[in-house]
Amino acid sequence: MRRQWLFLLEGAATVVFGVVLRLCLAPSPAKARMLSHEEREWLQQEQDAAQAATAAASGGRQRRSTLSEWIIATGSGIQNVVLGNCTAK
């Protein structure tokens, strides 16, 4: 019973930490108050260039790859549950 409380407390701390970070961190460099104007512009240009290079190199394959990974992971999880391969008790 004590382990259950420990897991609940660890999970709650993780959720609280995630919510605080989500509220405190800026969604993009353009809205980051801690950066100077020049730093914001430079970082935004770097991110735009990296995103353009990734899109050009992948040619749209990145989305398909990510989707197929999710499908494989979900199928594997369902298979483990159905076949009883889960070791959690």
Write out the DSSP string of 15-51: HHHHHHHHHHS-SSGGG-TTS-HHHHHHHHHHHHHHH
Residues 6+ apart with CB under 8 A from 54: 62
Residue 81 lies in a domain: no
* pLDDT less than 70: residues of the chain: 1, 58-67, 77, 79-89
Residue 35 lies in a domain: no
What pLDDT is recorded for position 83? Answer: 62
What pLDDT is recorded for position 61? Answer: 58
Residue 19 lies in a domain: yes
What pLDDT is recorded for position 17? Answer: 92
Residue 68 lies in a domain: no
Number of domains in the chain: 1
Q: Which domain holds residue 3?
A: 1-25
Residue 73 lies in a domain: no
Residue 9 lies in a domain: yes
Residue 1 lies in a domain: yes
User: For the chain, how many helices (H) and strands (E)?
Assistant: 3, 0
